[in-house]
């Protein structure tokens, strides 16, 4: 039996021979000799599907999917209209703005508490001259830096409740912002403390700095922690990070745990505000929460997930130019808490790739029989994944992200995809309401993946697919992310939830245009893989 991948698979009956026929068709046309042949998705029991380039014709006269081109005569500026009625309905959707607000208030409450510890331990009139002011500033910035370090590690814990409560997009943004703030607080702490002690001792700043390092308790470890922190900040600059191997960058990034251990030892030994009636409770409690979250998110949850589901590769199937899908089977997949649009981090335990873990979204809604990932070849690692054999064991972590239909705040949706971003968008379409519009951006027609699947789903779910094909300077792509161009395709765009997934340039251009069209940020859903 073959997998009709374009069908909704969530209620497929059990079949022990489910994956047996995936390699049965030696279909020509795939120009990558390392790839397995195409599957036979046209079984005798399945209804005939439209051929490539021949989308469905619906009874109402509209085609559910077609390449959209620029028109000089149509008022919308396009040769293909959506035919979607403009109705302003409120949804039964879920908004998470309250979660984010509560989290922000909780963060600033903790920050205020850490600063208040200095106030409790400072007697009136103690700050009276320049030297004491500098030392006081150094103590305050040290407390801020210690607090931010705990929060940073908490956000890196990957604990499921935090992902579900806040969402990957906000966690990523906060992680970047707090990383910069943490570095600034640590550097300010060093400068203020050294300068204040130099003024008190009447010595030079360099001499005093050396004296601090060599005589104060735990200062050697604090110096190493600062060096690690600066190094992590440097390799996290986008220009540098884009030139590093992902696994190398990730491994170095994990040394921030060492920063916590080394820095916290310094705080305990030399921190004047780490003891006292309130501090002796606040800091140990914060440390216990962070360590518990790291242990739970990095160890307990992944071990439980993989012990319970025992993921293995079922089959690798070519999809198009430099694109292939990995079908995954496992135990109790119906109990897997994953939704369409989410991603997981996958580690394929092959001889040459077991040490690499990468985030891939599901490209079909989860079901009790299999999961599907769709990968675009972008380097040596992804090229090797295309040659995996059935039965290859997998170690997974997740699921992650709030890029799901449950996060809608409006009754209708717009899904925008580019490149490999079509994977979560295609999965999301299975859970979206009627009159959903999909805009799929590609440079060439042969880069369009899942076209038959998208058009059948559009027919089944009363949705619409628009393909914008061509180079960035062609009229259609140039018009797409302009206010008039996007409004021409989606007249009620500001009354829809918009889901975006694709290259950064496409996502940024789309977000800029949507903001010009007064689409509220609460209606924008992005799918970040970087965290």
Residue 75: in which H helix or E strand, if any? none
What is the radius of gyration, based on Cα positions, of the chain?
27
Whether the CB-CB separation of 390 and 313 falls below 8 Å is answered with: yes
Q: Which residue has the higher pLDDT, 361 or 32?
A: 361
**What is the reported pLDDT for 217?**
67
Start-to-end CA distance of the chain, whole Å, equals 39
**Helix, strand, coil shares of the chain as percentages rounded to 5?**
45, 15, 40
pLDDT of 52 higher than 80: no
Q: What is residue 19's predicted lDDT score, i.e. its pLDDT? A: 37
Check whether 21 has a pLDDT greater than 80: no
Dig out the tokens for 284 from the structure: 């140990």
Residue-wise pLDDT tens digits, 423-437 = 999 999 999 998 899
Q: Report yes or no: 34 and 26 within 8 Å, Cβ to Cβ.
A: no
Higher model confidence: residue 475 or residue 97?
A: 475
**The pLDDT of residue 73:** 60
- For 207-237, the DSSP string reads HHHHHHHHHSTTHHHHHHHHHHHHHHHHHTS
Sign of CA pseudo-dihedral 179, 185, 188, 189: negative
Residues contacting 431, CB < 8 A, separation 6+: 339, 340, 341, 365, 404, 405
DSSP 79: S
- Secondary structure of residue 162 in the 3-state scheme: helix
* Phi, psi dihedral angles at 337 (to 5 degrees): -80, 60
Across the range 84-94, mean pLDDT stands at: 49
139-185 tens-digit pLDDT: 899 889 889 988 988 888 888 778 777 777 777 788 888 888 988 99
State whether the Cα torsion 429-432-8-349 is positive or negative: positive
Please check whether residue 185 is in contact with residue 149, taking contact to mean a CB–CB distance below 8 angstroms: no
pTM comes to 0.73
User: Above pLDDT 70, what percent of the chain?
Assistant: 76
> Residue 44: its pLDDT value, please?
33
CA-closest candidate to residue 176, choices 142, 141, 148: 148
Please provide the DSSP assignment of 14-70 as one string: P-TTTTTTTT----S----TTSPPPP----TTSPP-PPTT---B-TTS-BSEEE--B
Mean pLDDT for the stretch of residues 318-329: 88
Whole-angstrom distance, CA of residue 32 vs CA of residue 320: 10
- Grade residue 273 by pLDDT with cuts at 50, 70 and 90: low
What pLDDT, on the 0 to 100 scale, is given for residue 81?
54
User: Quick check: 359 and 375 in contact, CB under 8 A?
Assistant: no
Nearest to 36 by CA among 318, 292, 446: 318
* pLDDT tier, 14 (very low <50, low <70, confident <90, very high otherwise): very low
d(CA 259, CA 182): 12
Selection from 149-163, 179-193, 246-260, 265-279 with the highest mean pLDDT = 179-193
347 Cα distance to chain centroid = 17
Which pair of structure tokens corresponds to residue 35?
């790839």
Tens digits of residue pLDDT in 193-207: 888 888 888 888 888
pLDDT of residue 212: 77
Q: Which residues, at least 6 apart from 131, have a Cβ–Cβ distance to it below 8 Å?
A: 196, 197, 199, 200
Least confident of 98-112, 116-130, 353-367, 494-508: 116-130
Q: 215 and 270 in contact (C-beta within 8 Å)?
A: no
| φ, ψ (nearest 5 deg) of residue 347 | -120, 105
Q: Is the peptide bond before 399 cis (omega within 30 degrees of 0)?
A: yes
Q: Give the Cα separation of 173 and 268 in Å (integer).
A: 30
* 237, two tokens: 């600059």
Range name among 24-38, 170-184, 240-254, 422-436 with the lowest pLDDT average: 24-38
Mean pLDDT of the chain: 78
Higher pLDDT, 281 or 62: 281
């Amino acid at each position: 039996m073959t997998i009709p991948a374009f069908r909704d698979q969530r209620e497929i009956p059990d079949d022990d021979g489910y994956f047996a026929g995936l390699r049965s068709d030696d279909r020509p046309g795939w120009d990558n000799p390392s790839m397995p042949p195409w599957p036979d998705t046209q079984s005798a029991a399945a209804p005939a599907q439209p051929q490539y380039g021949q989308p469905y014709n619906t009874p109402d006269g509209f085609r559910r999917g077609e390449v959209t081109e620029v028109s000089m005569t149509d008022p919308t500026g396009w040769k293909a209209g959506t035919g979607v009625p403009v109705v302003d309905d409120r949804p039964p959707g879920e908004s998470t703005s309250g979660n984010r607000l509560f989290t922000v208030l909780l963060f600033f409450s903790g920050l205020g508490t850490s600063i208040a510890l200095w106030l409790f331990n400072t007697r009136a009139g103690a700050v009276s001259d320049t030297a004491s002011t500098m030392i006081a500033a150094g103590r305050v910035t040290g407390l801020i830096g210690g607090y931010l370090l705990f929060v940073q590690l908490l956000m890196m814990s990957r604990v499921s409740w935090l992902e579900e409560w806040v969402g990957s997009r906000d966690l990523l943004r906060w992680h970047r912002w707090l990383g910069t703030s943490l570095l600034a607080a640590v550097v300010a702490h060093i400068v203020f403390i050294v300068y204040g002690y130099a003024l008190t001792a009447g010595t030079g700043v360099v001499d005093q700095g050396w004296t601090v390092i060599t005589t104060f308790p735990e200062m050697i470890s604090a110096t190493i922690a600062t060096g690690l922190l600066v190094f992590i900040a440097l390799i996290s600059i986008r220009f540098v990070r884009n030139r590093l191997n992902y696994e190398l960058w990730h491994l170095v990034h994990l040394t921030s745990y060492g920063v916590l251990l080394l820095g916290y030892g310094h705080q305990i030994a030399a921190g004047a505000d780490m003891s006292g009636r309130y501090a002796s409770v606040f800091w140990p409690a914060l440390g216990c929460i962070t360590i518990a979250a790291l242990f739970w998110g990095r160890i307990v949850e992944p071990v439980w997930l993989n012990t319970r589901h025992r993921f293995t590769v079922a089959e690798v199937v070519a999809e198009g130019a430099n694109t292939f899908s990995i079908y995954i089977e496992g135990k109790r997949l119906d109990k897997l808490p994953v939704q369409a649009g989410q991603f997981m981090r996958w580690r394929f335990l092959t001889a040459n790739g077991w040490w690499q873990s990468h985030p891939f979204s599901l490209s079909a809604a989860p079901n009790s029989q299999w999961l599907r990932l769709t990968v675009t070849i972008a380097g040596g690692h992804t090229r090797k994944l295309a040659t995996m054999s059935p039965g290859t064991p997998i170690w997974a972590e997740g699921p992650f992200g709030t890029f799901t239909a449950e996060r809608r705040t409006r009754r209708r949706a717009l899904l925008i995809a580019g490149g490999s971003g079509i994977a979560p968008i295609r999965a999301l379409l299975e859970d979206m309401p009627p009159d959903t519009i999909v805009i799929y951006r590609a440079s060439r027609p042969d880069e369009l993946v899942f076209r038959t699947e998208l058009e059948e789903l559009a027919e089944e779910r009363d949705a619409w697919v628009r393909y914008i094909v061509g180079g960035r300077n062609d009229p259609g792509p140039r018009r797409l992310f302009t206010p008039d161009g996007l409004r021409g395709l989606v007249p009620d765009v500001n009354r829809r939830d918009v889901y975006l997934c694709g290259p950064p340039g496409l996502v940024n251009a789309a977000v800029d245009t949507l903001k010009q069209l007064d689409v509220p940020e609460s209606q924008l859903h992005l799918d970040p893989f970087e965290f």
